[in-house]
Structure formats: C-alpha cells, structure tokens
Amino acid sequence: SQQGEEDPQALSIQEGENATMNCSYKTSINNLQWYRQNSGRGLVHLILIRSNEREKHSGRLRVTLDTSKKSSSLLITASRAADTASYFCATIKNYGQNFVFGPGTRLSVLP
Amino acid sequence: DSGVTQTPKHLITATGQRVTLRCSPRSGDLSVYWYQQSLDQGLQFLIQYYNGEERAKGNILERFSAQQFPDLHSELNLSSLELGDSALYFCASSVEGLAGVHGELFFGEGSRLTVL
C-alpha cells in the first residue's frame, strides 16, 4: 500500500488562481518531499520539509507539514499554464529505507 | 538537466526477451534508485544501491536484477519480459547525508520499455 496519498487525484484551475494539493501518509517520517513531473519526463524536486519543520516557502510554493495529522499540503500561488504537470509527494521513514511516492495529483492550469 | 543519464531512452522488444537499462548518476552521488512507473501502478520503488552495495529493496520481481559498479553507474536487468513490464523505468541518484538525513532525489529522463 502507498505510504503517501495525494488528494485530489486531478485538479483543473484557471491561470492566476491558487492550487492546493494534499498528501497524507501512514507512518512516522524523516522528511517529506514534493516533486513535479511533466508528461512523460523525469521527476523534478520542488521542496523538502523535515519532520521538525511546519512550513517552508520556495518562490510561489508553500508547503506545510502536520506530523500529528500525518499530512502535508502544497500550495502553488498565482498559477501559470507552465505549472500544468503531475505533482507527487514522497516520504522516507528511516535511514536505509526507500522513498515512497504517492499516486500524484494531475494539475491542469487553463490559460 | 538533472545530471542523471539514462540509456536507452526508448526500447521495444518482445515477450520472453531480456534487456538492460543503464544509469549514470550525478557526479558525486553514491546512491542510485530504480523506479518503475506504469499507468495502473504509479511510481513503484524497485531497488536502491549505495556505493556498490544493495541498500533497500522494494517490489522488484525475481526476473529483475540490478547492480552498481565501482564507477557508480548502475544497470537494471529485466528478463523473461512480459507485456505487463511495459513501463517507464526511472533512475534517480542522491547524496545520502549523515545521521539518516536524506536529501532530494535527482531523476533521469527515464527509459520507456515497450514489450510486444
């Protein structure tokens, strides 16, 4: 079973709007990471948040982490058509364990 | 450009055949990870190597095997191929930090395998 589960599975918004994606996980983690994948391409790392952090920003991205609820959210502000992609959260539990990716959220930003 | 190189980019083969996918990690990265991405299974972790040694194992079939060589490049061998093995196979690399702190993964562009 998946460690991370993104929600929603698909999201369609207009350019300029904000997009919020959520990730829930099941066990304790070392850190949680968000990745973007353009269709048929490799995944690109967006942001990493450690288990002792609650919020991080990077440009138009804002990530929050709530370890008590075992959940994270990714907010993309002022979205652009170029943000159209699939977004994945990945968690890693302990040293020597593997990164586990959720099924992803497909974001479509309409011009 | 992530710095991770995967070859071949595309591969078409027949059922029962064997193929080898190759990955060169980013310069300085000691860890290599292999993932399989298919439409119905999502991104599945297969195996991780660290400095030539197997570090973690996921849902890798017995028909699949991998290794990491002294120069740190890695190969994923897929044998007795079945239609269901058609997928994108990604390699990723990372620098594992101290005390179990893992950094980001850098992904290659993938090898698209089609089994006919």
With CB atoms and an 8 Å threshold, state whether A98 touches B45: yes
High-pLDDT (> 70) share of chain B, %:
95
Residues 6+ apart with CB under 8 A from B116: B12, B13, B14, B15, B83
Strand-pair category, A43-50 with A100-101: unpaired
User: Which of A46, A26, A30 has the alpha carbon at shortest distance from A86?
Assistant: A46
Residue B62 pLDDT class (50, 70, 90 cuts): very high
Strand-pair category, A4-7 with A19-25: antiparallel
B45 touches chain A (CB under 8 A): yes
With CB atoms and an 8 Å threshold, state whether B33 touches A2: no
Separation between Cα atoms, residue A96 and residue B29, nearest integer Å: 16
Pick A97's closest partner by Cβ from B4, B56, B88.
B56
What mean pLDDT is predicted for residues B68-95? 96
- In b/e form, how buried is each residue of B85-103, taking b as 16+ CB within 10 angstroms? bbbbbbbbbbebeeeeebe
What mean pLDDT is predicted for residues B45-72? 92
Separation between Cα atoms, residue A57 and residue B68, nearest integer Å: 36
With CB atoms and an 8 Å threshold, state whether B100 touches A95: yes
Residues of A within 8 A of B104 (CB-CB) are 33, 45, 48
pLDDT in tens, B21-39: 999 999 989 889 999 999 8
Q: Which pLDDT score is estimated for B98?
A: 40
* Average pLDDT per 10 consecutive residues for chain A, totaling 111 residues: 72 96 89 92 94 95 96 97 95 71 92 90
With CB atoms and an 8 Å threshold, state whether A45 touches B106: yes
Taking the CA of residue A102 and the nearest CA in chain B, the distance in Å comes to 8
Question: Which pair of tokens denotes residue A61?
Answer: 């991205």
Q: What is the CA radius of gyration of chain B?
A: 14
